C-alpha cells in the first residue's frame, strides 16, 4: 500500500515570528543542495527574497497580517521533475479557482513561490515548499502592493483541509487512478476513514504508523540537537535521538545505532496478514 502524501500549513506573521523570519525561510528552502526547481509568479522586480523582504518591512507594524502562508506537500517516491512541475501547476491552478463564482469565473492571481526539494538528503523524500501571499493582485488599490482583497482564503476555517484535498487531487490527476496511488493525505485521515468503514484493525495500524513516523526537525531544532541540548517535547524526541545518533556517526565518527526501529502491527491486505513492518525513526527527519 502506498505511503500517503502529506500536506502541512502554517503562517508567518510579525506577531508570531522573529523579524526577517520569512526572508530567512525563503533562503532556506532555496538552498542549492536540496532545491531541484523553483517556480514563482506575480512578484515584483527583484526576485523572491526581495519580494518577501519588502513585504516584511511593509507589514512590520501590522502584526495581525500574514506575511506569507507556508505550505509543504510531499510527492510520491520516485517523482520526476516533470511530474513535480505538473503537480505544482495543478495545485496552484486549483487554488486560483477556489473563489471563482458564476458572476466572476476568472481565476484569482496571487503571488507565490514554490521550491521542489529532491536533491541530497531529500532525494528519497521528494516534497515541495510553497510561500503564498493571499492577495488578489487585480484588486489592489491604485496598484499598490499589500492592498488587494483575499484571493484564496488561507485564514478561513477549514482552509487546511481544502489545501489537502487540492493537493491530493493534483497528485491523483498527475499519476492517474488505481490501487498504488495516493487517496489520502495523512495516516490520521486514513485511520478516520478506516474507522468509518468499520475496520478497527486497519485503523489501529494507521494510528501506529502516525505515532511512529519521524517528525521533521527544522534548522533551529537540528542545531540544538547537534549541540547536545535536551529535547523535552515528546513528539520530537524520537527524531532528535535518531538525528543525534546519525550526526555522531557521520561527523564525530562514533559508531552508534542511527535507526532505532519501531515495530508496527502487520498490515491487513486482502484479508491476509502481511509481514510486520518497521518504520525507522531516522527516516526523513532532517533537511
Question: For 1-54, what is each residue's pLDDT tens digit?
Answer: 444 577 889 999 888 888 888 888 998 999 988 899 999 888 876 677 778 878
| Domain of 239, in residue numbers | 187-280
Mean pLDDT, the chain, rounded, equals: 75
DSSP conformation letters of 181-196: S---S-HHHHHHHHHH
Closest by CA position to 25, among listed 240, 219, 223: 219
For the ranges 120-124, 212-216, 233-237, the lowest mean pLDDT is seen at: 212-216
Strand partners, 13: 66
Query: Quick count: other Cβ atoms within 10 Å of Cβ 264?
Result: 18
Higher pLDDT, 71 or 19: 71
SS3 26: helix
> Which among 114, 141, 175 is the end of a domain?
175
DSSP conformation letters of 60-128: TT-TTSEEEEEEEEEPPTT--HHHHHHHHHHHHHHHHTTT--SS--SPP---EEEEEE-SGGGTTS-EE
At residue 46, the pLDDT reads 62
- HSE on the CB side for 129, CA within 13 Å? 23
> Which among 138, 154, 175 is the end of a domain?
175
pLDDT at 232 over 80: no
Domains contained in the chain, number: 2
At residue 182, the pLDDT reads 40
For the ranges 59-63, 155-159, 199-203, the lowest mean pLDDT is seen at: 59-63
Based on the fold, state whether residues 137 and 16 are members of the same structural domain: yes
Greatest alpha-carbon pair distance for the chain in Å reads: 66
Based on the fold, state whether residues 169 and 234 are members of the same structural domain: no
Amino acid at each position: 500500500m502506498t505511503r500517503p502524501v502529506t500536506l502541512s500549513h502554517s503562517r508567518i506573521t510579525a506577531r508570531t515570528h522573529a523579524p526577517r523570519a520569512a526572508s530567512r525561510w525563503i533562503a532556506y528552502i532555496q538552498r542549492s543542495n536540496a532545491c531541484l526547481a523553483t517556480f514563482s509568479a506575480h512578484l515584483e522586480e527583484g526576485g523572491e527574497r526581495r519580494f518577501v523582504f519588502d513585504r516584511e518591512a511593509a507589514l512590520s507594524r501590522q502584526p495581525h497580517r500574514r506575511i506569507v502562508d507556508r505550505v509543504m506537500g510531499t510527492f510520491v517516491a520516485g517523482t520526476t521533475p516533470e511530474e513535480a512541475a505538473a503537480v505544482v501547476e495543478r495545485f496552484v491552478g486549483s487554488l486560483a479557482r477556489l473563489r471563482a463564482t458564476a458572476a466572476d469565473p476568472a481565476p484569482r492571481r496571487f503571488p507565490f513561490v514554490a521550491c521542489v526539494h529532491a536533491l541530497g538528503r531529500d532525494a528519497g523524500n521528494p516534497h515541495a515548499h510553497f510561500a503564498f501571499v493571499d492577495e488578489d493582485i487585480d484588486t489592489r488599490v491604485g496598484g499598490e502592493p499589500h492592498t488587494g482583497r483575499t484571493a484564496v482564503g488561507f485564514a478561513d476555517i477549514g482552509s487546511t483541509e481544502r489545501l489537502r484535498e487540492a493537493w491530493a487531487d493534483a497528485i491523483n490527476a498527475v499519476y492517474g487512478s488505481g490501487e498504488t496511488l495516493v487517496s489520502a493525505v495523512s495516516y490520521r485521515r486514513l485511520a478516520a476513514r478506516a474507522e468509518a468503514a468499520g475496520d478497527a484493525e486497519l485503523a489501529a495500524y494507521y494510528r501506529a504508523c502516525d505515532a511512529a513516523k519521524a517528525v521533521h526537525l527544522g534548522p533551529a531544532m537540528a542545531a540544538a540537537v547537534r549541540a547536545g541540548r535536551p529535547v523535552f517535547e515528546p513528539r520530537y524526541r524520537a527524531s532528535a535521538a535518531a538525528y543525534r545518533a546519525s550526526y555522531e556517526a557521520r561527523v564525530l565518527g562514533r559508531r552508534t545505532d542511527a535507526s532505532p526501529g519501531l515495530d508496527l502491527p502487520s498490515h491487513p491486505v486482502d484479508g491476509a496478514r502481511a509481514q510486520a513492518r518497521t518504520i525507522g525513526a531516522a527516516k526523513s527527519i532532517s533537511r
